[in-house]
Amino acid sequence: MHTAVEIVVESLCQNGCKAVWGYIAELEAGRTLPDTESLNDVQRCQVLIELKEIMAVYGETSCTLDDAIATVEAKYSTGS
């Protein structure tokens, strides 16, 4: 059985490394992602930690942070 944190991490990771770097940046800035809205602050922190641990395996050479931020902004843009 997967925890809510594991489910969110798996879901976010399915979007690729560029997106995950963007999610990390968003969470570090204290923002809530649509996928993390149902989580409490502790769980969101756990998601951030797990994403960082996963991405540490790949290093920053897999994709750039600027590309990641652009990917996330495009995906979650509200048009306003």
- Burial 8-43, CB ≥16 within 10 A → b, else e: bbeebbeeebbbbbbbbebbeeeeebebbeebeeee
Domain that holds residue 21: 4-76
CA nearest to 15, candidates 61, 54, 57: 54
pLDDT at 18: 86
Q: pLDDT tens digits for the chain (80 residues)?
A: 789 999 999 999 999 888 999 999 999 999 999 999 999 999 999 999 999 999 887 765 556 656 666 666 666 665 54
Count: domains in the chain: 1
